Amino acid sequence: MSAFHRAFVAWWFCLTCAWGCSGGGSGDVKLAPADGTVTYQGKPLAGATVTFSPDKGPLAMGVTDLNGKFTLASGAMLGAAVGPAKVSVTAFPPGQKSTPGAEDVSKIPKNADEAAAQLAKMGEMQEARRTGKDEANLPPKSLIPEKYMKVDTSDLKYTVKPGGDNHFSIELTD
């Protein structure tokens, strides 16, 4: 797993912990099995990270195999939160050097103070990238258009159905 992916998983872990501690986990969130394929320009996209950000419930993530297939998991639980979700997809060349500083936020926090410090560091890194103030902290070059990297710009939206057919075909274009 690259340092970028470790940093993303650490960020996701902190976000999920914060969501659980905030009272958002009222126990009424249901997970359903979900999987799918990702293609870019009509070809399977290997090594891409697919993230479902539901209106209610935890994030669900999956990584595509060589055939572009993925299975979603919410933390240690297989499946995704039932209901509508915005989706993002990230894909970077294998072995490409990750964002500087990612190693600092990729370790699993041992306590709440470490988790808070990592979350703050990630915020600083995102702000530096967003504003372009620190060229050294720019993310690696994406294999797909960057609009797919954020749920707010990807225009990808799907609904996870309870006990339904949750096989999603995500077709990315330029």
Give residue-wise pLDDT tens across range 12-39: 554 554 444 444 444 678 999 999 999 9
CA distance 76 to 23: 19
CATH of region 3-22+29-172 = 2.60.40.10
Please say if the pLDDT value at position 72 is more than 90.
yes
Give the pair of three-digit tokens for residue 128. Answer: 């530096």
Band the pLDDT of 107: cuts 50, 70, 90. low
Position 10 pLDDT exceeds 90: no
* Highest-confidence segment of 74-78, 99-103, 132-136, 159-163: 159-163
Instruction: Look at residue 110 and give its three-state secondary structure.
Output: coil
Sign, Cα dihedral of 131, 132, 136, 138: positive
Residue 152 has pLDDT above 50, yes or no: yes
Burial of 53 (0-12, 13-18, 19+ CB in 10 A): buried
Which of 71, 7, 79 minimizes the C-alpha distance to 38?
A: 71
Max mean pLDDT among 104-113, 132-141, 149-158 falls in 149-158
In whole angstroms, give the CA distance from residue 5 to residue 161. Answer: 28
Q: What average pLDDT score do residues 98-107 get?
A: 51
pLDDT digits (tens, 9 = 90+) for 109-127: 778 888 777 777 767 766 7
- The confidence score (pLDDT) of residue 65 equals 95
> Which tokens go with 33?
């099995």
pLDDT band at residue 168 using 50, 70 and 90 as cut-offs: very high
Q: Taking the domains of the chain in order of start, what are their residue ranges? A: 3-22+29-172
- CB atoms closer than 10 angstroms to residue 34: 28
CA dist., res. 33 & res. 47, Å (int): 21
- Positive or negative: CA dihedral 139, 12, 76, 169: negative
